[in-house]
Amino acid sequence: MVTARAFDTKISALYKAGKIFGGVFLGRGHEAIAAAEGVFLHKGQDVYAPFIREQAGRCAWGDSVLESARAYFGSASGLMRGRDGNVHWGNPAEGTPAPISHLGAGVAVVGGAMLAKRMKGQTGCVGLACVGDGTTSVGAFQEAANMIAVQKLPVVIVISNNQFAYSTPNSQEFACKSLTDRGIGYGYTVHECDGTDFLSTLQTMGQAIASARTGEGPQWVVANTLRMCGHGEHDDSCYIPQELKDAYADRDPLAVASRQLRELGWITEDEDAALAAECAEEVQRCVAQAQKEAPPAPASENWVATSWNPEHEEQ
C-alpha cells in the first residue's frame, strides 16, 4: 500500500511535469481493497486481474513497481514493450492477464482461466477479477458474472464501489439498493466491507478468497470507498461534492491502516516512517530505471499481429 501510494504520487508528479505520454490513473482510496486482494493470492497458482486502481494489489501480488513504471514510460524492456501502456499491462504467463480498456471484458477471461485449470485437474486455485461500480452496468460483465456462477468456478469478483464511474454517481448508475443484490441475483455468496477500513477489508477479502479456494463457489465482494482523486490525473473531480470529500478526510486507507497497526502494537511510528522512506526509495529507483531504458524503436518494429503466417510456414 505504501509503495503503491508512493508510486502514484511520483507518477502524478511526472504527469504534471509533462513526462508521461498518456493518461495517469491513481488508486487513492482503493489501496486497502487492492492490497487485501493481492496478499491472499498466490502467484504461479492463482489468477489475478487487476484493473486501473490496483497498484497496491499488484505490489501485494508480488509484481515490482518497475513493471508499472515501464508501462507508463513505454519502455522496450517492459512486458508491453511500448505497444500498450499506463495501467494496461499484465503478465499472462504468471497469472495476470493484460487488461483491455473495455470494462468488464476481463471478468470472463478470469472465468475461462479457472475453467481451464479445473479441466486440467488443478485444484485449490482462485481467480480474482477487479471491477468498479460502473462496470456492473456493462453487458460483458453481466454475461461473465452469470456464466462463472453457472459453471460454479472458484472466482472472486471484487467490486470496488468508489461511488463514481468517471463522473457518474451511483444514483445514475444503478437502481438496486446495493450492488450486493446483483451478486445474490447471479447466485454468488456475497460479502460487503468498508474498503477504507484496512483490517475489516483484510478480513472480508481473506474470507471470500478462502471460500472460493475451498470449493464453496463464486464469491462477490462489494468494497465501499471513495475515489480520492480524479478518474485520471487530467480530471479535477469537481463533480464529487465537497461534503463527501470532507466526510472521507480521515478515512484515507493508508492513514487508517497505519493507525490500526499502531493501535495493535504491530508497528511503531518510527517503523512506519522508515517503511515510507524505504518504499519511496524503491519507487525512485524503479522510476529512474524505467526512464533510462530504451524506448521502442519504430524502425525495427515488425508490425506483425499474429504468431503464425503462411510465409513462415513455407520456410
Partner 1 sequence: MSVTYIDAIRQAMTELLEEDPAVFLMGEDIAGKFGGAFKATKGLDARFPGRVLNAPIAEDAIMGMGIGAALEGMKPILEMQFADFGILALNQMGNNAGAHYYRTGIPLNLTLRMPCGGTPAGGPYHSQCPESLFAHFPGLHVFTPATVADAYFMLKEAVRIPDPVVFMEHKFLYRWLKADSWIDPEPLPVGSVRIARPGRDATVVAFSAMVPEALQAAELLQRECGYELEVVDLRCIKPLDVGGILGSVARTGRLLVVSEDFPWGGVAAEVISAVTTEGFHLLDAPPLRITAPDTPIPYHPDLWKAHRPGAAKIAQTARYLITL
Nearer to partner 1, 104 or 253 (CB): 104
Neighbouring-strand partners of residue 191: 221
146 near partner 1 (CB under 8 A): yes
203 near partner 1 (CB under 8 A): no
The mark string for 147-186 relative to partner 1 (x by CB under 8 A, - otherwise) is x--xx-----------------------------------
Question: Which of 16, 19, 64, 100: binder of partner 1 (CB under 8 A)?
Answer: 100
- Number of residues in contact with partner 1, rule: CB under 8 A? 46
Phi, psi of 49 (to 5 degrees): -115, 80
Alpha-carbon distance of 191 to 182, in angstroms, equals 12
The mark string for 68-87 relative to partner 1 (x by CB under 8 A, - otherwise) is -----------xxx-xx---
300 near partner 1 (CB under 8 A): no
Distance set, CA 39 to CA 1, 57, 290, 314 (Å): 11, 7, 25, 48
Q: Which three cell numbers stand for residue 189?
A: 455468496
Of 31-39, 112-120, 256-264, 289-297, the segment contacting partner 1 by CB under 8 A is 112-120
List, as one string, the DSSP characters of 7-59.
HHHHHHHHHHTT-SSS-----TTTHHHHHHHHHT--TTTSEEE--TT-HHHHH
Residue whose C-alpha is closest to residue 10's, from 295, 294, 230, 288: 288
Phi, psi of 149 (to 5 degrees): -70, -40
297 near partner 1 (CB under 8 A): no
Shortest distance (Å) from residue 21 CB to partner 1 = 16
Residues in contact with partner 1 by the rule CB under 8 A: 47, 79-81, 83-84, 90, 92-93, 97-98, 100-102, 105-117, 119-120, 139-140, 143-144, 146-147, 150-151, 304-310, 313-314
